[in-house]
Structure 1
Amino acid sequence: MKAFIENLPKAELHVHLEGTLEPELSFALARKNGVALEYETPEALLAAYDFHDLPSFLAIYYKAMNVLRHEQDFFELTWQYLQKAHQQKIVYAEMFFDPQAHTSRGVPFDTVIRGIHRAQERAASELGVQTKLIMCFLRDLSAESALQTLRQALPYQDWIVGVGLDSDEKDNPPVKFAEAFSRARDAGLRLTMHCDVNQQNTLLHIRQCLETIGVDRIDHGVNSLEDPALCDIIRERSLGLTVCPVSNRFVVQSLTAAEIRRMLDLGLRATINSDDPAYFRAYLNENLLALHQDGGLTRHEIVQLVKNSFLVAWLDDESRAEYLLQVDEYLQRAA
């Protein structure tokens, strides 16, 4: 199964580029940019990744971004992830980025997105990895900040496929950002929102995503299983759920393998993703392997999860069919 998973063509729909900042790159950028770090070595930094819930993770996560200053930094960040994605047989990825985490530090929006875009172009030409970019609003900032960020993004609309919502959910419901998401929809962008596992008012937040915002996908969304009516809506609309099992094991102390199997049994389009792999020490293959080895998911279930990623990706029908054909041809060879 390890070799089977490693060579299976895959898509990833829930990966934060800032969450792919490996300790070694963090130290290299800190030296280059004259940024003082609290730790002496990459190993010491890695050992400091001590988090047990969403707020404790975010405190470390945002602080680490301070080493990202210049366009080349964002290029290196993205290029390293895309090289890793290629090694893991990821043929298509939709990647999150958090511009407010950088513009709030004085890094121009243009600097961030141009560095990322150059890496995307290189990965397409040299590695054959196709990617799209999803801009996330930080939900613990103001609604006006989100609108301002959307205005900054619109000149680069050809480089962005959709908008998302991430960061701390407490007291930051989806409806807070209804205007920003409505304007994004009017501009032709796709919509997704994080509904992290076991957060305050999580079922209310999922319902707001579905009924008020009208999302095209939900990121995480595991708690939807607690409400059959929500599951019915998600299934009827064929919405994707981008679940991150190893991330869940850190944040809620559960791989949520039983919940993922339950999603499949209910006909929900669950997908598997790495979230912030540099912090959770698991990229996409490691997440799928953990589901098999620790969660007991079968080969058939792993394949369905992988196919679901292509089914709910923001692709045109022709590209989707081509990717699914790659999966089917691999399955024939591996039979």
Structure 2
Amino acid sequence: MSTAAATTAAVTVPDEWLRRIPKVDLHCHLIGTVRASTFAELARREGLALPAEPERVFADINSLPPDPALYRDTVVSVPQGRSVDEPEVSYSLFQVSAWVVQLLRSPEDLTRIVYEAFEDAHRSGTRHLELFFDSVPEHLAGLGYRGSVEAYADGIRLAERDFGMTGRMIAGIDRSRSGEEALALVREVVDNPHEYVAGIGLDNLETAGPPERFVDAYRLAGEAGLGRTAHSSEHAPTAANTTTCLDLLGCDRIDHGYFVLEDPAVVERVRRDGVVFTVASTTSRRSWRPWRRASIRAMLDAGLRVTPCSDDPGMFPTTLTDEYRLAAGPIGATHAQLRDMVRNGVEASWLPEGERAALLADVTAELDALDAELGLA
């Protein structure tokens, strides 16, 4: 189907369907979920000196892209200039995230932001949420790994009780750190198993650390039965990092992956193998949003398996429903492709096999019932 035909088909999907479909979010960073209102409250509580009012800082998050010369000849054209919605003064996602981490002072703060992440996800119809969490900051070192994870878990337990959701945590590996530090982190995860910590993920700017640096950490995680994912082919304009993540790191799924389009052989390989990509139409790099959406369209055209994610919903800002709206609208996904996106998310989740199968059956039944109700069957 052509892009124009796909867009025409997508118009028939009503917004009510997009709001009500059961969803799964596999790629969401805990710090990036923090609400502007929570950031403002904590900043004032701690007396944090900021260059502007906390609400203004959040409104002006805009990560500037790297040297545009790196992206002049990509398969999907990357914008070379600024976008019309960029603020006069920009605050990078990493800077704002660092301020948020600075404000978290107790286990109760950690539990609160996890609970609020699930509460906001629930409003988008999210049934299962997997959250990236980072290493414990120095000022909370007294909690240790076990204490911090248990504080996060308290937030998930409360959300499960209040919203009927399920949730898991992903231990984030900062790729700007050394392979030895990553291995130490994974060893801590393995030595302290927790029911809510389901796997590991490689994050931070892809250009800050090649995936092959983390082979030993990922091997240990695999031996322990942990799920494995990695941000790949997001910032580096190459498909090679994705093949490294699949072949050397043993990743179960890939976060982002847009630049796999640079290599037709890799596109064919991931299509054949059914690799699931968690894709976000919205990014703090505002000028790159059109490129993101065009790339996701091209991934769909190539028959790749994608599932929308919210990534950093509090800071972009976005919601998972918004991401499905963008998939149905500007990206032009068909009704059938949107249904597949939901099912891809369930099938790529790190729930235990029995729970995953039950969720897939429930989600499929709800999609069928909603289609029938709205005349989309």
TM-score by length of 1: 0.91
Aligned residue in 1 for 2:301: 265
Query: C-alpha distance in 1, partners of 2:339/2:124?
Result: 15
Select which of 286, 306, 313 maps to 1:250. Answer: 286
Q: 1:162-183: CA deviations, max 9, x gaps?
A: 1100002224111101000000
Q: CA deviation at 1:62?
A: 2.6
For residues 242 and 269 of structure 1, do their structure 2 counterparts lie closer, same or farther at Cα, with a shift above 3 Å needed?
same
Letter in 2 for 1:165: L
Residue 16 of structure 2 aligns with which residue?
3
Cα pair 2:62 2:284 within 8 Å, conserved: no
Residue 327 (str. 1) matches residue 367 (str. 2): yes
How much has 1:208 moved relative to structure 2? 0.8
Q: Is the 8 A contact 2:305 2:344 kept in 1?
A: yes
Please identify, of 152-161 and 166-175, the stretch whose mean Cα deviation from structure 2 is larger.
Answer: 152-161
Matched, 1:299 2:331: no
Compute the displacement of 1:22 (Å).
1.5
| Higher mean C-alpha deviation, range 246-255 or range 122-131 | 246-255
Q: For residue 85 of structure 2, what is the aligned residue in structure 1?
A: none
Task: Tell me if structure 2 keeps the 8 A contact 1:257–1:297.
Answer: no
**RMSD, aligned α-carbons:** 2.3
* Gap runs ≥5 in structure 1: none
Correspondence for 1:179: 216
Number of the residue aligned with 2:57:
45
SS in 1 for 2:146: helix
Matches of 1:140 and 1:208 in 2, distance apart? 17
Is 1:82 matched with 2:82? no
Which residue identity is paired with 1:84?
D
Report the CA distance between 1:35 and its aligned residue: 4.7
SS at the partner of 1:134? Answer: strand
Structure 1 residue 56, shift from structure 2 partner: 4.0
1:1-335 paired onto structure 2 within 5 Å:
1-32=14-45, 34-39=46-51, 41-53=53-65, 56-99=92-135, 102-103=137-138, 106=141, 108-154=144-190, 155-197=192-234, 199-200=235-236, 202-247=238-283, 250=286, 252-254=288-290, 256-315=292-351, 316=353, 317-335=357-375
Distance 2:57 2:214 in 1: 35
1:105 offset after TM fit, Å? 6.4
Cα distance in 2, alignment partners of residues 87 and 171 from structure 1: 35
TM-score normalised by length of structure 2: 0.81
Shift of 1:255: 5.3
| Deviation of the 1:39 alpha carbon | 4.7
The residue identity in structure 2 corresponding to 1:30 is A
Higher helix share: 1
- Distance of aligned partners of 1:251 and 1:314 in 2 relative to their CA distance in 1, 3 Å threshold: farther
CA distance in 2, matches of 1:157, 1:103: 22
How far is the alpha carbon of 1:201 from its aligned partner?
5.5
Q: CA deviation at 1:23?
A: 2.0
Matching residue's letter, 1:4: W
Report the more deviating stretch, 324-333 or 284-293.
324-333
The farther-off stretch of 220-229 and 325-334 is 325-334
CA distance in 2, matches of 1:240, 1:125: 30
- Per-residue displacement from partner, 1:145-196 (whole Å, max 9, x unpaired)? 2122222223133321111000022241111010000001101101100015
Aligned-partner SS, 2:113: helix
Stretch deviating more after TM superposition (128-137 or 302-311): 302-311
Does the C-alpha gap of structure 1 residues 37 and 294 become closer, same or farther in structure 2, counting only changes over 3 Å? Answer: farther
Counterpart for residue 9 of structure 2:
none
Mapped partners of 1:265, 1:57: distance in 2? 31
Determine which structure has greater relative contact order: mean sequence separation of CA pairs < 8 Å that are 6+ residues apart, divided by chain length.
2
CA contact (8 A) 2:237 2:259 kept: no
Distance in structure 1 (CA, Å) of the matches to 2:261 and 2:105: 41
Q: Which runs of no fewer than 5 residues in structure 2 stay unpaired? A: 1-13, 67-90
* Whole-Å separation in 2 of the counterparts to 1:13 and 1:287: 13
Report the alpha carbon displacement of residue 312 of structure 1 after superposing the two structures with TM.
Answer: 2.0
Q: Which moved more, 1:233-242 or 1:11-20?
A: 233-242
- Percent identity reads 27
